[in-house]
Amino acid sequence: MLVTLSEILHKAEQGNYTVVAPDFTSMASIRFHLEAAEQFKAPLILSYFNHFEPLCPLHSWEKWINIIRGECAQYDIDICLHLDHGLTVEECRRAVDAGFTGVMMDASLKPFSENVELTSRVVEFAHAAGVSVEAEIGHVGTAADSTYHTKDSARAHLTQPDQAEKFVRQTGMDCLAVAIGTVHGEYIGEPRIDFALLDEINRLVSVPLVLHGGSDTGDENIK
């Protein structure tokens, strides 16, 4: 059944577990994710990135999303239909209108003040519709452009704890994506993940934390 991102993550905090958020590209991948999650009685954040819209099997994207909502409703587990890396306010608004139960406003490459302003705008209309909002402070890069933590000079990409606390307080968003050295895609060399930084952020921030980039992070690091 469909629930909000906040509902899933607050249950996870109370139960001391994490929730995976795989991106889907087709109805086949959606079915695979849902069947696996139900098999393990696990909640699921079913994520969608707008980059995949050309793969939409219907003429109408909105009708496809409605079909996905109907499919999710048939499973006896908590499911959040979540927009991953919404890059504009308009993308987030479209997802809210289409029936997503969580949206990410990713303005992490913008100046801090602009990130706050854009995220706050999304929070206003999303919360009015009963939808949760994720945002990012710091920046989780990709292997393709090497924008991730490989040496001390790259620390500018990482989340600064005091800034994270201020960002959450000023925006009213529901969960925070943080940059601690993980990367989207495959790493060049060994992952250098700053767990001490993660602990410090967690002590200061009042909302659940999100980690992007898991494909090549390694089982031990994930644990």
pLDDT (tens, 9 = 90+) of the chain, 223 residues, equals 999 999 999 999 999 999 999 999 999 999 999 999 999 999 999 999 998 899 889 999 999 999 999 999 999 999 999 999 999 999 999 999 999 999 999 999 999 999 999 999 999 999 999 999 999 999 887 766 555 544 545 566 899 999 999 999 999 999 999 999 888 887 777 778 899 999 999 999 999 999 998 878 888 888 8
- pTM, full prediction: 0.92
pLDDT at 153: 52
- The question of whether 152 is a catalytic residue gets the answer no
Assigned architecture for domain 5-222 = Alpha-Beta Barrel (3.20)
pLDDT at 121: 98
Report the distance separating Cα 148 and Cα 188, nearest Å. 10
Report the distance separating Cα 125 and Cα 44, nearest Å. 24
pLDDT at 214: 80
Domain locations along the chain? 5-222
pLDDT at 157: 84
pLDDT at 152: 45
SS3 99: coil
Kindly name the residue from 84, 106, 174, 194 that is annotated as catalytic: 84
57 to each of 28, 46, 130, 200, 223, how far by Cα in Å? 11, 18, 28, 44, 36
Write the Ramachandran bin of 175: left for phi over 0, alpha for psi from -120 to 50, otherwise beta. Answer: beta
Q: Please name the residue that has the structure tokens 């993660």.
A: 198
